[in-house]
Structures are given as C-alpha cells and as structure tokens.
C-alpha cells in the first residue's frame, strides 16, 4: 500500500471537490493512484446521484451565457432541493458551465428518455441501412446499430455529451459529482438556445 500523504489527499480534494475523508478513502482504495482515486470518487458520485434521483427539486437558478459577439445566447433552468444550495458558488458555477455547454455543443434534448420514439426509430433505421450498405454481416448489424445510437445520444442529449471543460466525463457525470458534493438532487429542467438568424432554436423542456 502506497503512503497516503496529507498533500495527496489535499490534491485530490482540489481536483474533485470531495470531502477530506472521502478523498482519503478513495486514495486508499486506489492504492495511492491519483487518477484511479478520481475514478473511484466518480463512481461513488453516480451511486449517490442514483439514490437521490427521486427527490423533488423545486429550487434552483435560471442561468445565462452570451457568447462573445452577442450572436449566440443560452438560458437554462437548473434545479436543486433547497435555496441554500442554489445560492452557493458551486451551484452557480455548475449552472454557468451547463449554459456554456449548451452554447458550445448545441444539444437537442436533455436526457435520452426525452428523445421522441419516432426520432429514435428513424435514427435506428438509418443506422441499420447504413450498416447493411457497408456490407456488415446481418448477425452483427444490431450490435453495430446500438453502438451508433450511443454516439447519437452523445451528440444530441445534454447529459450524454462530453463536458467541454473535461471531456473525460459527461455532463451527466459532472452533475452526479455535484449531487455527491452538495448532498442534494440536481436536475436540468429546460433550456433555450438562441442564435442570430436561426429560427429553429427554442425551449427544450425535459420529459421528466
């Protein structure tokens, strides 16, 4: 077992925002490996988020981001359970980061379950036809289609998109890590993305 120094614990805490005891436990589990300890904390964050997912979020903030040049702007509503958390710097930063994400990556939906069935079925048909046209064996076509659908979700669903500030995690994983950090459920409920001259943009409510 590698020595878990106070400096190493502090470094992990600065990288993740997790508590000192959580950082120490994660480093012990990862045998002192800083990168692996971050993975451990992310997994725990996902577990914590899953437990809190059913809790009602009626507080929160409406955040905005205007891209330099004022040709592109975003409004997003991010919810939490208490106004105390909504007022924290951590939550405000998360809302700002999500608004920037929407501006940069142009998601069409918030979660996978928000994609209409007809849109998903059409995409499935397109990818199946594409795989067959490429000469893929029939027995593996379905597996290929599912893999390409995962890529489709990554492109169009906010929670599945790689986070623009750290593409080693998705926006969903970022939110899960914040849930673990603040101890409350956090959800994105709706957003609107406006681009000058684009009449196709508009409000994107969650299906949740």
For position 207, what pLDDT does the model report?
44
For position 180, what pLDDT does the model report?
81
Residue 76 shares a structural domain with residue 106: yes
Residue located via tokens 């190493």: 8
CATH code of the domain covering residue 128: 1.10.286
Q: And the tokens for 61? A: 């903030």
Q: Is 191 in a helix, a strand, or coil?
A: strand
For position 51, what pLDDT does the model report?
65
* Best mean pLDDT range from 11-15, 21-25, 192-196: 192-196
Residue 132 shares a structural domain with residue 41: no
- Name 113's Cβ contacts closer than 8 Å, sequence gap at least 6: 207, 208
In a domain, 1, yes or no: no
- Name 148's Cβ contacts closer than 8 Å, sequence gap at least 6: 127, 130, 131
Q: Closest by alpha carbon to 52, among 81, 18, 31?
A: 81
Q: What is the DSSP string of 155-166?
A: HHBGGGSEETTE
Q: Closest by alpha carbon to 13, among 38, 40, 45, 36?
A: 38
Residue 107 shares a structural domain with residue 186: yes
Which whole number is the average pLDDT over 186-203? 83
- Going by the DSSP 8-state scheme, the letter that residue 58 receives in this structure is -
Q: Structure pTM? A: 0.70
In a domain, 171, yes or no: yes
For the chain, how far is it from start to end, CA to CA, in angstroms? 45
Which whole number is the average pLDDT over 153-171? 93
Residue 87 shares a structural domain with residue 167: yes
List pLDDT tens digits, range 39-82. 887 777 655 556 666 677 789 999 999 999 999 999 999 999 99
Dihedral, CA of residue 98, residue 92, residue 198 and residue 120, to nearest 10: 30
For position 208, what pLDDT does the model report?
40
Portion of the chain with pLDDT greater than 70, in percent: 88
In a domain, 192, yes or no: yes
Residue 13 shares a structural domain with residue 106: no
In a domain, 169, yes or no: yes
Range from 75-84, 99-108, 181-190 carrying the lowest mean pLDDT: 181-190
Q: And the tokens for 121? A: 């079925």
Structural domain range at position 183: 59-111+157-205
CATH code of the domain covering residue 178: 3.30.479.20
User: What is the number of residues in the chain?
Assistant: 208
- Compute the distance between CA of residue 200 and CA of residue 120 in angstroms, rounded to an integer: 20
The total domain count for the chain is 3
Which whole number is the average pLDDT over 138-158? 89
């Amino acid at each position: 077992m590698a020595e878990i120094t106070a400096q190493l614990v502090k470094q992990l805490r600065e990288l993740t925002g997790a508590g000192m005891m959580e950082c120490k436990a994660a480093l012990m589990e990862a045998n002192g490996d800083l990168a692996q300890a971050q993975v451990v904390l992310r997994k725990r964050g996902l577990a914590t988020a899953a437990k809190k997912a059913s809790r009602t979020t009626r507080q929160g903030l409406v955040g905005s981001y205007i891209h330099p040049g004022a040709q592109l702007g975003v409004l997003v509503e991010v919810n939490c359970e208490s106004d105390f958390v909504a007022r924290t710097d951590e939550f405000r930063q998360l809302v700002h980061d999500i608004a920037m994400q929407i501006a940069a990556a142009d998601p069409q939906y918030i979660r996978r379950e928000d994609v209409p069935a007809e849109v998903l079925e059409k995409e499935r048909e397109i990818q199946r036809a594409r795989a067959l046209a490429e000469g893929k064996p029939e027995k593996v076509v379905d597996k290929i289609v599912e893999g390409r659908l995962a890529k489709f979700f990554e492109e169009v669903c906010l929670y599945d998109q790689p986070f623009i500030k750290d593409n080693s995690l998705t926006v969903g994983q970022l939110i899960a890590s914040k849930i673990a950090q603040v101890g409350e459920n956090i959800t994105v409920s709706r957003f609107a993305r406006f681009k000058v001259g684009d009449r196709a943009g508009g409000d994107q409510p969650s299906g949740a």
